[in-house]
Amino acid sequence: MTPQDASIASRKICDLAPVVPVLVIDDAASAADLARALVAGGLPALEVTLRTPAALDAIREMAQVPGGFVGAGTLLTPKDVEAAKAAGATFGVSPGVTDALLDACEANDLPLLPGTSTPSDVMKLLDRGYTVMKFFPAEANGGAPALKAIGAPIPQVKFCPTGGISMKNVNDYLALSNVLCCGGSWVAPADKVKAGDWAGIEALAREAAALRK
């Protein structure tokens, strides 16, 4: 997969809904129910972060849910890429980038939303052929004003900002011309997941899916 093809695929994922749920899953037994609730609420693109021992099993379970597009977040190494692909991930997300990670994603045909935080990051990826990227951690790096400023000299790059985004500030990002969607964990709060409150999570998903650029 070329960087250009990866960005085309990532763009399609980002265009599915205004919000991509960022999920930290401790128990894979609840993964399918969680995915069904989010998809039913209008959020089909799901990022499962590889931060827990249950993450890969959760991806396997979610990959079976009709209408969902499950990706693996927190990709750090080529081994992460291979494991995510084997588990059924259809896209990847990383907090930053290395040449080894990019090489692995391209070799394994896994579209990547590569993490950036500075204009230099963006320029390096653009030089390689990537035009769709993650901006992370968004709020800690200046928020929507910073991303708007990056877009002025580099308008051809589009972003999915993640990190510190909630219903309180998501519209600030979605209003930007260089933002396709936002990543956020607020649509699947840990207490609702633990309680199995799938109706509550579906309601939060519907609220997020109703956001418009």
The active-site residue out of 85, 134, 158, 192 is: 134
The count of C-alpha atoms lying within 13 angstroms of the C-alpha of 209, restricted to the half-sphere facing its C-beta, is 17
Mark whether 148 is an active-site residue: no
- Residue 193: phi, psi to the nearest 5? -65, -45
Count of other CB atoms within 10 angstroms of residue 178: 19
What HEC string does 44-89 produce? CEEEEECCCCCHHHHHHHHCCCCCCEEEEECCCCHHHHHHHHHHCC
**Running DSSP on this structure, what letter comes out for residue 176?**
S
Mark whether 47 is an active-site residue: yes
Q: Please give the positions annotated as active site.
A: 47, 134
